[in-house]
Amino acid sequence: MNELLDAAAERGLAGGREAHRAALAATLDRLRSDCRAGTARELDEGFWQEVDDRLQVLPAMRLREALNATGVVLHTNLGRAPWAPEAIAAAQAASGAAVLEVDPQSGRRGRRERAVSALLAEITGAEAGLAVNNNAAALTLAVAALARGRSCVLARTEMVEIGGAYRMPEVVRSAGARLIEIGTTNRVHLRDYAAALEDPDVGCVLRVHRSNFELHGFTGEPEAHEIAQLCRERGVPLVYDLGSGVLRGAGLPGAEEEPSVAAALQAGCDLVTFSGDKLLGGPQAGLIVGPKPLVEKLRSDMLTRSLRLDKTLLAALEATLSLHALGEEHALARVPALRQLALGVDELAPRAEALATALVAAGVSARVIETAGRVGSGAAPIRDLEGRGVLVEPPAGVEIDAFARALRMGRPGVFARVQDGGVVLDLRTIDPQRDAELQALVIAAAKRA
């Protein structure tokens, strides 16, 4: 494959290395299929024409490959977490016929997310798990299954809005529940929860992690274990929406203060919801863990079928969870988003020096600068990630916006920050194996601009 990728680059085929890899893999699959059927095939010009034909589809696509040079690891507009190689391979393997809703032992129908559910339970220590298509869906499902036609308690300190005007009060109402607001915008007390739970119509209590902002000053709220104990005494389930998806509380730079799934369960929260494409580092998914009876109640709800994951996402999610099941150290080494978060200046500085030197040699004005990256997707909203990058100035007579546009319109497009009269390429969010490709794209954009 590496030899074929080099040959594709030498031929000047459309698209970047990942596009070439996908087109080559698909064409090789067809070649092998023909050979198995008795038709001789070779890696000749006909093979390369088929690869090129596949690549010609890509330039017309709006959803296409990009290089994230913004320094924001979980960039929502660029698809959040990059997938691990194992997740990519698993999704590709499941793209055709797949063992999805069938038990291979008996040949009878099975449950599509059985493997993912088992892994969620194993990794988090919960009794059961469930996966749906994103965390918004997971939270909506939890509230609907527990409090549809009843009431849901939510503190005013946690009535957050995330991207796309997605607001917690509207989520509760869309799930068919009535909202009981307690406390004030800066303080909520345990007695506020106790007073709300006097209402026998309450179906659940909802806690929401304030992932995209922080409260300071005259503030206060009960600990999760205090609310959980109160809910247990009243026989009302407590749902905690974590969002970010830190499993065990690994010491990731920028995410040290993020609440973990394990800690939430240990505190006594009944159901915990979190994202698959944030600090878990996998595909888009909404994950729910908790006691088996409650999880089964959600699984049997009429919404679950509408919110289920497709086979390729399930395969990628299973592969990502399997990496986490091997331990935190293994996950940090294999999951790209976690690896990017852990990068230090000592690793980024030599790459920045090499890139700047190569660009200057090609006639592009560039220099190494300190960078301040971010976790992204609402996690650790005020924490910077110290790094190194390259400030590239546009060619003489070219406006900075025009240069940035030329970078974005490349194949693949390069997305970076505009600051200090230039474009900043933060190498934290660039795979080291693609530094040379980034260099070529910057030079090409400077010429086009």
In this predicted model, what pLDDT tens digit does every residue of 114-129 receive, in sequence order? 999 999 999 999 999 9
Domains of the chain with CATH codes: 1-59 (no CATH), 89-334 (3.40.640.10), 341-448 (3.90.1150.180)
The residues pairing with 238 across neighbouring beta strands, listed in sequence order, are: 205
Who has greater pLDDT, 144 or 41?
144
Q: Which pLDDT value is given to residue 25?
A: 87
- The one-character DSSP state at 310 is P
Average confidence score pLDDT of the chain: 91
Confidence at residue 58, expressed as pLDDT on a 0 to 100 scale: 64
Residue that wins the pLDDT comparison between 46 and 403: 403
Query: Please, are residues 205 and 153 in contact by the beta-carbon 8 Å criterion?
Result: yes
Which comes out higher in pLDDT, residue 349 or 38?
A: 349
Long-range contacts, 333-336 (Cβ 8 Å, 24+): 334/84, 334/85, 334/86, 335/81, 335/84, 335/280, 335/281, 335/282, 336/81, 336/82, 336/83, 336/84, 336/281, 336/431
Please say if the pLDDT value at position 163 is more than 70: no
Helix, strand or coil for residue 156? Answer: helix
Tokens of 30: 């067809």
- 208 near 241, Cβ under 8 Å? yes
Rounded Cα distance between 24 and 93, Å, is 15
Higher pLDDT, residue 63 or 194:
194
Strands 385-392 and 366-373: antiparallel
- Contact, 292 vs 127, CB < 8 A? yes
- Cis omega (within 30 of 0) on the bond before 291? no
Cβ-contact 385, 37 below 8 angstroms = no
Of the two residues 2 and 176, the one the predictor is more confident about is: 176
In sequence order, the 6+-apart residues with CB closer than 8 A to the CB of 42 are none
Residue 249, pLDDT score: 67
Asked if residue 126 lies in contact with residue 290, where contact means CB atoms within 8 angstroms, the answer is: yes
Q: Flag whether pLDDT at 164 surpasses 80.
A: no
pLDDT category at 104 given cuts 50, 70, 90 is confident
Nearest to 389 by CA among 406, 411, 408, 366: 366
Q: Around Cβ 174, how many Cβ atoms within 10 Å?
A: 12
Percent of the chain with pLDDT over 90: 67
Handedness of CA 434, 310, 321, 225 (dihedral sign): positive
d(CA 275, CA 337) in angstroms, rounded, equals 14
Q: What is the mean pLDDT of residues 278-285?
A: 95
What is the identity of the amino acid at 1? Answer: M
pLDDT at 23 over 90: no
How confident is the model at residue 329, as a pLDDT?
86
Rounded Cα distance between 231 and 280, Å, is 28
Which of 56-95 are b and which e, b meaning 16 or more Cβ less than 10 Å from the residue's Cβ? eebeeeeeebbbbbbbbbbbeebbbbbbbebbbebbbebe
Residue 432 pLDDT > 70: yes
Q: Is the pLDDT of residue 251 over 80?
A: no
Q: How much is the pLDDT for 37?
A: 84
Specify the pTM.
Answer: 0.85
